[in-house]
Amino acid sequence: MRIFVMSGKKLLISVSAGVIAIACIIGAGIWLGQTAPTSVQPKKLPIYCVKTEEKQIALTFDAAWGNSDTDQLINILKKHNAKATFFTTGEWVNKYPDDVKKLYQAGHDIQNHSDQHPHVAKISAEQLKKDTLACDDKIEKLIGKRPTLYRAPYGEYDNDMLAVFENDLKHFVIQWDVDSRDWKRPTVEKMVESVTKSVKPGSILLFHNDLENTPTALDAILTRLDAENYQYISVNELILKENYTIDNNGMQIKQ
């Protein structure tokens, strides 16, 4: 019988080589599909704006609370030959059906802002569908036209929520790229300056109804934009319905 004696250094090298060889074999097994690496799902985005050379923009209003300025907004929009999109909650439709009818009869678009104004990131897909369809039903019953657009309360969204709207509810989810921040109650002057310097062709502007400075600021904003020959159309008219991509900034681009 022969006995081989290895020095400590040689033994260490031998053991290390063996460990590396075993690790390589295990790694190869993982790579071949026994335990595949987890892939990161690309982040989905709603529509923030549209790429266009036309000087067209969409004015949007979220309506979820009071109705103090409905007639005032209608008159200002008419003065500037502007069509707007009103995202209303189902609760607002219940409280102010006459206002919804007034807005629709004045030529404005009525779309979905949820039924109960939930935090969509905190509810299940089934709850989201139930809430959305409830608002759709109320709007359709009142004006005879079913919404195809959705704006989430608080502007919340994630991949799962967007998938529900794309695959199940068939609604376009709409954000904005120009925020009036009127809910913070800035001065009229500050609101006018911040909005007008941010507008570009294809922009979607966010306002809210039932705020004291918004009507006055809106009139001044549209007066400035009139001088730049902007046209004010509904979101439905502005966005692309097929053959488009959405870039990392939420801009919808025709393919």
Catalytic residues: 62, 208
Q: Starting at the earlier edge strand, list the strands of the sheet with 251-254.
A: 49-50, 251-254, 244-246
Q: Would you say 189 and 221 are in contact if contact means Cβ atoms under 8 Å apart?
A: no
| Rounded-to-integer distance, Cα 203 and Cα 191, Å | 16
Place of tokens 């809430």: 131
Amino acid at 95: K
Using CA atoms of 27, 33, 35, 41 in order, give the dihedral in degrees to the nearest 10.
Answer: 120
| Rounded-to-integer distance, Cα 233 and Cα 81, Å | 9
Which contiguous run of DSSP H or E holds residue 62?
strand 56-63
Q: Would you say 227 and 233 are in contact if contact means Cβ atoms under 8 Å apart?
A: no
Q: Would you say 151 and 113 are in contact if contact means Cβ atoms under 8 Å apart?
A: yes
Give the count of beta carbons closer than 10 Å to the beta carbon of residue 157.
Answer: 19
List of residues 6+ apart from 12 with CB closer than 8 A: none
Amino acid at 91: E
Q: Under DSSP, is residue 233 helix (H, G, I), strand (E, B) or coil?
A: strand
